[in-house]
Amino acid sequence: MRKKTLYLDYASSTPVDPNVLAAMMPYLKQEYGNPSSLHGFGQKAAVALELARQMAARFLGCGANEIVFTSGATEANNLAIQGVVRQTTNDKRQTTKPHVITLAIEHESVLAPIQKLEKEGIIEATYISVGKKGTVNPEDVGKAIKENTALVSVQYANSEIGTVQPIAEIGRIIREKNKSLVVGRWSSVIFHTDAVQTANFLDCNVETLGVDCLTLSSHKIYGPKGSGLLFVRKGVVLNPLLEGGSQEGGLRSGTENIPAIVGMAKALAELIGPKTGVEAVRIKHMRDQLIRGVLGRVPESSCTGSLEKRLPNNAHFMFTRIEGKDLVMLLDHKGIAVSSGSACSERSQEPSHVLLALGMSPKEALGSLRITLGKRTTKEDIVRVLKTLPSLVDQLRKHSVRSTKT
């Protein structure tokens, strides 16, 4: 009899929590009104929407009117980036191209819009490199800020290798820079962070972090897919991506997805309290056991990124003389679901831009494997992975040798 399938790809997506699903069900069945409608059905939906906004605001430590619900993190990231840039270019006081700063290892939903705006000649961009451990020096961000810098976007924790960036320190530096900028400048430098991977484990209080915009995604925190949010600090002006309605303060036209928004708010509420910290400790212990076991059992293996400044659930490995995607497929055949990197780019045949930015060769970067743990992961699951993984790596390496000889 085949063993149960182990799901160890929580960085890609999480299962919907039963409490979240229960909170959503009334809005999938009887409470189906449009929150913009004036009748009773609509007003019930409107009340649910505003309660969800308050719950999200409580998690982030901000005002409810600073929450903009979106279809997910990709839309939220694009709204932050393009919203700042378009608003800046429309300001007649701005006489030069706006300058945007980001990291070379950002998620595609941050890099792609910046690269597109740069290619179109709308902005100039700086892509700050990181060290081999995948963390940025906050001072490098400060040094990159210029008179025409409009936006800094730095991911709180990397979705592939799990390294955590010093967001609060970067925020402090940007605040100091804003004080010293020329008087009469069109606006302050806006600081945005993609915090999608961190909400389960790290402090996302926007005042502590010193950010002006922050992105979250529902399906990374045991909520439903199709819902995300962007925190927009009061006073920050963005141009909307979508036109055609006044929803979400005019920043996100279109009827709100009430069931998904309610589910996301419930998922965020589940993350508030001491049990979250206890769970993070439990997961980190299993992750450390996994890393030690893999490095001890598999020759020519290494763990990517910083071991100290790392998400508690992320273990990212590099194996020589194999391709990570082949290993993912073999593990899947054995009933263990993992990934070779970000779900948004895993089907690509190209090596990860994150790993290349760490200084790896394209050949080295193809030998990656990401294992991410979650609430349902057990110690027995880790034991099973450690029993299965080494022989599969050995199998792939032997096959590689035979293929080379023929």
Q: Hey, which residues are catalytic here?
A: 344
A 10 A CB-CB count for 208 gives 12
A 10 A CB-CB count for 359 gives 12
**Apex 39 CA angle, 33 and 41, nearest 5:** 30
Separation between Cα atoms, residue 385 and residue 141, nearest integer Å: 39
**Amino acid letter for position 288:** D
Separation between Cα atoms, residue 401 and residue 23, nearest integer Å: 54
CA atoms 87, 89, 92, 93: torsion sign: positive
Separation between Cα atoms, residue 395 and residue 386, nearest integer Å: 15
SS3 state at 375: coil
Structure tokens at 102: 């980001």
**Structural contact between residues 289 and 381, judged by C-beta atoms closer than 8 angstroms:** no
CA atoms 200, 201, 202, 203: torsion sign: positive
**Amino acid letter for position 148:** N
Instruction: Compute the chain's Rg from CA coordinates.
Output: 22
Residues in the chain: 406
